[in-house]
């Protein structure tokens, strides 16, 4: 057996590791082990690559590995749990960038067949879109720019022009095997990536991160076709396929189609949001005091906490747990009702609450908690809005109609902790805020919860 064949066998082992890793990550019991198996596969793959015949510049490679590790590990270790989505976006973007660079460098060596040139151009295009697209998602989530959809004037015409340009460079690159065409294609793709993500609203950005994640997987697979490395093809395709499925699951959890998530802002009629805001003007809202709510909670039998994005922003996950523990010590049953898209991406809220050591048994998924609302005394909605809006169930005309929601309006009392009457991400009014059984507590979620804790102690 030659050395190259031995490396191929080791790569096969690594490919199996990655499949087992993804399988493991799909179940809570085996998730951590799955991730570690993936990391083992990666380490073995890198080790085997050092044995590649004719590999030079070992010192330089080690230096680059050390630099990458020195950037990646501290970033991953120090990131706040609320900022996880943008961290994933950043890691995804650099991966896409790497795939595009590898393809370009290989193309530069010449002797490309038609098929190789096609794979090079594909991975350059997709890798560059993923790189700049991820950069914009990062900027949106990190609040370096507005989270609202941004549509440039004449964006449709610009999109068409970019599309025509991309096709032209692809044809040129294929016919002349021109590296220059591939570089120009990368530049056009970089602009396309920016314009692709700009029109997506803040709430939908996680879906885009997932989509770009599967893009990067496909770019890696195409690069594998260029280099004729089966491990890259297998791993890239695995991520591309599973990422596509995951993206669909995420949009379904939000009750939206993928196309409305991505292109909604480009086709929307601008008047709809303004019109929806009007009809609530003359209705009254009941604002409660912290003490009222403390008494309500302290003497309840069953309380459901519905955490949302506002809780994450206020970093109030520890305080809500303190309140829940306090209530439990008084004999109140407390559970958390987690909407599938609570937080910034599916599962994000579970991670945040896990960080605050909330017991796993107290976290209930939507389908489990919904039948129990009629027997619930108080629902405490912390920084959530759209996911409890009955319009999703009752008004067919509403933009969120059809989205699965938590039926908190069936509980006896509802308390909203909100910063203002401002509508949620979907930009629509919530009739539940005006319901007689609803009490509003305005202010920063963390401050309000802290005063609630001391008020419950006194109650």
Q: Which residues are catalytic?
A: 386
Site residues (CB under 8 A) for another protein, limited to 239-258: 239-243, 245-246, 249-250, 253
Residues in contact with another protein, total (CB under 8 A)?
112
By CB under 8 A, residue 65 contacts another protein: yes
Nearer to another protein, 112 or 417 (CB): 112
By CB atoms closer than 10 A (0-12, 13-18, 19+), residue 438 is: buried
Question: To which residue do tokens 């004999």 refer?
Answer: 331
Q: How far is the CB of 261 from another protein (least distance, A)?
A: 15
By CB atoms closer than 10 A (0-12, 13-18, 19+), residue 317 is: buried
Nearer to another protein, 48 or 432 (CB): 48
Helical segments of 79-113, H only: 84-108
Choice from 1, 2, 5, 57 touching another protein (CB under 8 A): 57
Q: How far is the CB of 19 from another protein (least distance, A)?
A: 6
Site residues (CB under 8 A) for another protein, limited to 273-302: none
Smallest CA-to-CA distance from 347 within 329, 331, 366 is with 366
Site residues (CB under 8 A) for another protein, limited to 203-242: 209-210, 213, 216-217, 220-221, 223-225, 227-242
Site residues (CB under 8 A) for another protein, limited to 108-147: 108-109, 115
Nearer to another protein, 59 or 397 (CB): 59
Beta bridge partners of 381: 306, 416
Cα–Cα distance list, 57 to 45, 60, 61, 100, 303 (Å): 18, 5, 6, 21, 63
Q: How far is the CB of 105 from another protein (least distance, A)?
A: 4
Beta bridge partners of 414: 379, 438
Q: What's the first-to-final CA gap in the chain, in angstroms?
A: 78
Task: Return the structure tokens found at 415.
Answer: 């308390």
Count of H-run helices and E-run strands, the chain: 18, 6
Encoded one letter per residue, x for contact with another protein by CB under 8 A and - for no contact, window 343-372 reads --xxxx-xx--xx-xxxx--x-x-------
Site residues (CB under 8 A) for another protein, limited to 26-45: 26-28, 31-32, 34-36, 38-39, 42, 45
Q: How far is the CB of 441 from another protein (least distance, A)?
A: 28
Q: How far is the CB of 195 from another protein (least distance, A)?
A: 23
Per DSSP, the three-state class of 434 is helix
Task: Return the structure tokens found at 48.
Answer: 């085997």
């Amino acid at each position: 057996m030659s050395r190259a064949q031995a490396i191929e066998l080791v790569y096969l082992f690594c490919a199996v590791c990655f499949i087992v890793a993804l399988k493991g990550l799909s179940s809570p019991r085996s998730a951590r082990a799955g991730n570690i198996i993936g990391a083992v596969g990666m380490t073995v793959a890198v080790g085997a690559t050092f044995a590649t015949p004719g590999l030079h510049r070992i010192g330089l490679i080690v230096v680059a590995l050390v630099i990458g590790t020195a950037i990646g590990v501290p970033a991953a270790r120090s990131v706040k749990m609320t900022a996880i989505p943008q961290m994933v976006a950043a890691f995804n973007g650099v991966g896409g960038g790497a795939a595009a660079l590898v393809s370009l460098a290989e193309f530069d060596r010449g002797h490309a067949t038609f098929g190789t040139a096609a794979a090079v151009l594909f991975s350059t295009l997709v890798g560059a879109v993923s790189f700049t697209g991820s950069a914009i998602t990062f900027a949106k989530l990190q609040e370096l720019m507005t989270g609202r959809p941004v549509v440039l004037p004449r964006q449709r015409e610009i999109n068409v022009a970019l599309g025509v340009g991309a096709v032209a460079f692809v044809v040129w690159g294929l016919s002349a095997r021109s590296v220059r065409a591939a570089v120009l294609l990368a530049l056009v793709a970089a602009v396309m990536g920016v314009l692709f993500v700009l029109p997506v609203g803040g709430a939908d950005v996680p879906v885009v991160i997932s989509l770009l994640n599967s893009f990067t997987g496909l770019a890696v697979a195409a690069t594998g076709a260029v280099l004729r490395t089966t491990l890259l093809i297998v791993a890239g395709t695995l991520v591309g396929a599973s990422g596509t499925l995951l993206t669909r699951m995420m949009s379904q959890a939000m009750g939206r189609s993928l196309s409305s998530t991505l292109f909604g802002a480009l086709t929307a009629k601008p008047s709809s949001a303004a019109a929806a805001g009007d009809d609530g003007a003359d209705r009254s809202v009941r604002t409660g005091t912290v003490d009222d709510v403390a008494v309500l909670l302290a003497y309840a039998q069953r309380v459901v906490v519905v955490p949302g994005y506002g809780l994450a922003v206020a970093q109030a996950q520890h305080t809500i747990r303190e309140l829940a523990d306090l209530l439990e010590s008084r004999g109140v049953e407390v559970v958390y009702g987690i909407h599938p898209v609570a937080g910034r991406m599916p599962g994000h809220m579970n991670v945040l609450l896990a960080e605050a050591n909330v017991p796993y048994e107290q976290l209930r998924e939507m389908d489990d908690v919904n039948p129990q609302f009629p027997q619930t005394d108080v629902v405490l909605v912390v920084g959530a809005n759209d996911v409890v809006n009955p319009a999703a169930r009752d008004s067919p005309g509403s933009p969120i109609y059809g989205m699965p929601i938590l039926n908190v309006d069936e509980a006896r009392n509802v308390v909203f902790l909100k910063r203002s009457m401002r509508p949620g991400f979907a930009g629509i009014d919530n009739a539940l805020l005006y319901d007689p059984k609803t009490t509003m507590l305005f202010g920063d979620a963390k401050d309000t919860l802290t005063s609630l804790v001391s008020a419950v102690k006194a109650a």
